[in-house]
Chains A and B, each alone.
Chain A
Amino acid sequence: MMPTVLMQGNEAVVEGAINAGLKFYAGYPITPSTEIAELCAEKLPFVGGKFIQMEDEIASMAAVIGASLTGLKAMTATSGPGFSLKQENIGFAAMAEIPCVIVDVQRMGPSTGMPTSPAQGDVMQSRWGTHGDHPIIVLSPSSVKEAYYITIQAFNLSEKYRTPVILLMDEVIGHLREAVNLDEYKDVEIFERPMPQDKENYLPYQYIENGVAPLAPFGKGFRFHVTGLAHNEKGLPTNDPKVTEKLIKRLIGKIENNKKDIVMFEEKDTEGGDILLISFGSSARACEAAMQELKKEGIKVGLFKPITIWPFPDKKLREIYPRFKKVFVVEMNTGQLYYEVDRIIKGNTYVGKINKFNGEFFTPFDIVEKIKESF
């Protein structure tokens, strides 16, 4: 039985990553993610892993991709400005199908913004930050305990689908310390990268509908080519429209057609009522507190909390929202996840926005007030 301990969100990410098998971290320190780098530097040598502080954010992402190609589970952590710099290489990892986990502890932007202040302004960047049609998985935890569990799932999904996974944290959860007991997660399944068998006929980009071929680690005798160019099943560059179309369809399909396996969410009091709140990360905590206040006044409020932000749990939302009179998307930005919710609800129910973008965290009253105004 593990004891209950006080743990910081960023610390929980490192604990979860090491539990999931993290063996390589490359990064460049940036507030509010720096504790992740510090703790990886401290802890990785004890589990046979390597930590390296690279010369910049771009190189850190490149090093993570390189390490993953040798067969290691690899991670980096950053915040908005660094996340922008990493986008080119995130696209490379998506195209070349190299598993890796990128933590973005969001702070107030745009640009260098307010380094120590919270925000959730990278929702759309986490989906479309790198160019071209590409697959991505984005997960967002709303407590320290969840940060631990979701980090493990980030690695599992990344390895299983050979894709970069973005762990979209925010400053509130990154720096929050909470009493946690991780005992319930001690038997959580860890996905290990499968090893291909046939060295002679190895196809790293074999066409498998909605799936991926196993990725051979460099240095084990499998000869193959890795490129950001459109490529055939061997990994060699191609200009063939048919081959390219098939590749892109598979890249998108491996995520879109496995949503059932990838999508995680939580719901609270969603049997029906006046208002459905949709929120994620730390903002969902403010929503829960607001719900308690509104309940006292007889207003029936439900909460839908996507943990997988991308791909968005659209099927579940379609099931829930008709039970409510109005929907509000609550987020610390000027309205980003709102667009995805609006796309799904298609004007069938009123969708409103509750936003905060001044570097301060929501109070429950911010939300209570906006909801009362809507009556």
Chain B
Amino acid sequence: MSSIEIRLSGSGGQGLILAGIILAEAAILDGKNSVQSQSYGPEARGGSSKAEIIISDEYITYPKVLKPDILLTLAPSAYLWYKNDMKENGIIIIDESIIPNDEDAQKVIRLPIIKTAQEVIGRAFVANIISLGVIAELTNVVTKESLERAVLNRVPPGTEEINKRALTEGYNLVKMRGSEIWQKQMI
């Protein structure tokens, strides 16, 4: 692995900047180098929000993401905004609530991230942690051990169990759809 660029995008309040911080910290626990940056509008909630992470074995000279290897998005506007800005063969993961264009439908990986947070865990706010589980299971960009430690280092006391479950649900979302996802990546 030389350098992997990851972009997490959605609306403000979905916790994707925290997810970006956790992912960067998990990479450090794996002994890798990482940087994390973000952009957001002036409003605290509801505006568009973007967290970017670069993970590398070497010093990261340019600190911002240029062409992501991985894009995960939980909001339709963010999907339209960023989908054409990918590295060739980059992986796009979108929430089930987003309807992809016909030409993209074959290659995007569409998973019920928000629904799983709401209905399986019963807490909408863990959609960000489920997202991290999805990324780890799908790409191995960080180890599951480091990811779990990084999550537990950052989440508020008393929410450890819920967040651990959220990670597992994230892994499972990918495992359950394994063959379908594998086929998409071949396209």
Contact = CB atoms under 8 A, between A and B. Distances in A.
Prevailing SS type, chain A contact patch: mixed
A134 to B, nearest CB: 34
A289 to B, nearest CB: 4
Nearest to A365: B66
A361 B42 contact: no
Given A115-B42, A116-B40, A179-B28, A6 B34 contact: yes
Contact of A285 (B33, B34, B36, B62): B62
A289 B36 CA distance: 17
B154 to A, nearest CB: 10
B66 A179 contact: no
B42 A177 contact: no
B39 interface: yes
A292 B27 CA distance: 25
B146 interface: no
B21 A4 contact: no
B37 A5 contact: no
Interface size band for B: 20 to 34
A177 B61 contact: no
B24 interface: yes
B63 A178 contact: yes
A177 B35 contact: yes
Contacts of A282: 63
Interface string A153-187: 00000000000000000001001111100000000
A361 B62 CA distance: 11
A119 to B, nearest CB: 14
Contacts of A4: 28
A292 B59 CA distance: 13
Contacts of B21: 6, 177
B149 interface: no
A364 B62 contact: yes
A269 to B, nearest CB: 13
A88 interface: no
A177 B37 contact: yes
A98 to B, nearest CB: 35
Contacts of B40: 116
A288 interface: yes
A298 B32 CA distance: 31
A286 interface: yes
A116 B41 contact: yes
Interface string B35-79: 111111110000000000000000011111010000000000000
Contacts of B25: 6
B35 A179 contact: yes
Nearest to A114: B42
A282 B37 CA distance: 13
Nearest to B40: A116
Interface of B: 21, 24-25, 27-28, 32-42, 60-64, 66
Given A175-B38, A176-B36, A286-B62, 4 more contacts: A172-B37, A175-B37, A178-B35, A179-B34
6 contacts: A6-B28, A6-B34, A175-B38, A176-B63, A361-B64, A364-B62
